[in-house]
Structure formats: structure tokens, C-alpha cells
Copies of this chain bind each other. A is one copy, B any other.
């Protein structure tokens, strides 16, 4: 680096006191102009702003964070970063966050999530959104973060383990009521359910909700339920396998609800292959409203997470807790049914 370059790069990092000197005020006054925490007379303010512009001054948030003990940063911890659903949530969350000058750090990837915790603590993150199943991050880790004054919000897939953690849950009980109501309205009463291996809070929750809805809305105590055999496998292939099993069972059904959209896409494919057309012969409903559901053929009727609303609310609740630890938000969102082409009137009572 030669001399002129050196002087250039020196020129390029104006500090608060440089601005103060140029504006003919104290450094403190410059701070107050930017933080707006105290009144500064219009003339001084103007001079400061002009000086700051001239020097291209940007306040150093690192130094500010050190003193303020807040970093205006939250972390999103997720094990499923590539899921489009997850990303929609993160996008909405981030959009809300930036409005309050918060940055969002993503901690996903393929690294052991537990390893992130000490990074998160070291970086003095203000809050964290744990979007992971409860078996991935233990309660003692949450405890550790809480003791470090880090606000925490968890998703529906983990119970509320501590009075201090916030939560935003999707209400699948209401959601399944909506699905069953929709199918009932189309004349379906024989509704089967395809679930995954029951070792998983998410699936269990949905399945229990289905049982309750069938009982409350159709008076059925024992609806047809097919359950996966492999844990953590709830993809298209599983959907095909389980649907074939359902068909082979000889049970009566005119509609099928699947524990998630991938399973539902598999189900549609299986029905198609076995000569049953969707929705003419059988109606199919998914849960999640992943992007593929839109472009599937036929387009899938499914229960949407309302990702945007969800993401916005996640930040809103977390922000409130960061601001005041005594505000521990616990909310529920009702999912919304997106009616597309995979459900239709029940004509064929086979």
C-alpha cells in the first residue's frame, strides 16, 4: 500500500469526533443528533448533519453495541434452511426486523445446531428464533441463553419449556376443523388420514387434531388412519407407499388428508397410477402450502401456514420481549385453507 492509498483509506473512516470538529460542536452532541435521545437545537443539528454528510460518516454500531449492551441483532436457528416454507417466514421476519434496525443472522446449514449457541452468546445477540424440533436443542441450552439475557421465541414444534420463552404456534386444531368442514361441505364423510411415523411433535399434533375434528364435526370416533413406518420420512415416496397401502387395505374413503404437502403430492401420484383420478374419484388435501403445491397437477388444496403473517409476528413478539423482558408473548395463528384443484364434490361413494 503506497502513501496516497494509505491516506485515502484513512480519509475513509470518519469518526464521531471528526464530525464534531468540523461542525464545531462536541462529540456528545453529534451522538445525540443521531440517536435522537436529547433535544439538539436546529442550527447545531443542521451543522452536524452537513458535516456528517461531507465526511460520509456512518456511526459505528460495533462500538455502540459494546456500550449499549444491545446489538440490534437476532439469530434464526433452523435445521431446515432450504425449505421454501421456512424461507418465507425468514423473509417476512427479516422485513419486519429491518424496520426496527435489526439484522438477522441465520444459523442453519449442516452444522450441529448446538455449536451455534456459544457463537450466539459471544456475539451478544439480542434474541433468537428457534425454529427446530425440541429434540435438537435441549432445555439446558435454552436456559443458558435465557440467563444471558437473550430473548427466545419458539415455534409450534416445541413445547413451552420455560415461562421466559415466547412462542408462536399454529393452531392445527382449528386448521383441521377447517379442512374437515371444507370436505364435509363437498359431501365427503369418509375421510382418511395419512400420517407419518408418530414420533414427532408436528405430526402427532396434526393427527390428534384430525381425530378431534372428525369426532366433533362428523361424529366419527375411529376414522381411517395410515401411519408411516419410518421416522423422519415424510416425503413424496412415503406418500406413494402409504397411499398404496391405503388402497390395498380395501377401506372406504372418498377424500384423503395428508400430514404434509409432500405426502399429498405422493398420494396424488399413487392414485393416478392406480387409475383413480384426483379430484374426480378422490379428493386430496395437504398441509403446509409449499411452493410445489401451486404448480402441482392438479394444484393441491392445502392448509397454509400464512408464512408472512407468521414471520412478522415472530419478530413482533421477540422485539417486545427484547424491549421488556416481562412481556412474554404467547400467541396462536389459525392456518388458512387454500382451495385449489385437488378437492371436489363427492359423487362417487365407492
Chain A contact residues, CB within 8 Å of chain B: 8-9, 12-13, 56, 58-63, 65-66, 71, 73, 81-82, 84, 87-88, 90-92, 94-95, 98-99, 101, 103-111, 115-116, 118-119, 121-124, 144, 147-149, 236, 262, 265, 269, 291-292, 295, 297
In the bound complex, what is the Cα–Cα distance between A94 and B107 (angstroms)?
A: 8
| Chain B residue contacts of A123, Cβ below 8 A | 61-62, 103
Q: 9 A–B contact pairs at CB < 8 A?
A: A12-B149, A60-B66, A61-B124, A84-B291, A94-B106, A103-B105, A103-B107, A103-B123, A262-B295
| Copies of the polypeptide in the assembly | 2
A122 touches B59 (CB 8 A): yes
Contact B91 A108 (CB under 8 A): yes
B56, B62, B109, B297: the one contacting A95 at CB < 8 Å is B109
Chain A at the B interface: SS class: helix
B-chain residues with CB within 8 Å of residue A147 when the two chains form the complex: 8-9, 12
Interfacial chain B residues near A88, Cβ < 8 Å: 82
Other-chain residue from B82, B90, B98, B121 in contact with A58 (beta carbon distance below 8 A): B121
Tell me the bound Cα distance from A306 to B99 in angstroms: 34
Residues from chain B with a CB closer than 8 A to the CB of A81 are: 87, 90-91, 94
Chain B proximity of A206: nearest CB distance (Å): 21
Contact B98 A111 (CB under 8 A): yes
Query: Could you tell me if A124 and B82 are in contact, using CB atoms closer than 8 angstroms?
Result: no
Interchain CA distance A116-B103 in the complex, whole Å: 10
Complex: how many Å from CA A104 to CA B103?
Answer: 10
Assembly CA distance A107 to B65 (angstroms): 20
Q: Which of B115, B144, B295 meets A236, CB within 8 Å?
A: B295
B122 touches A109 (CB 8 A): no
Q: Which residue of B lies closest to A103 (CB)?
A: B105
Contacts of A111 in B (CB 8 A): 95, 98-99
Contacts of A116 in B (CB 8 A): 98
Q: Are A148 and B13 in contact, with the CB atoms below 8 A? A: yes
Partner of A104, one of B71, B106, B269: B106
By a CB distance below 8 angstroms, the chain B residues around A82 are 84, 87-88, 91
A297 touching B297 in the complex, CB below 8 Å, given contacts A81-B90, A104-B106, A119-B101: yes
- In the assembled complex, the Cα of A116 lies from the Cα of B60 at a distance in Å of 15
Instruction: List residues of chain B with CB within 8 A of the CB of A148.
Output: 12-13, 58
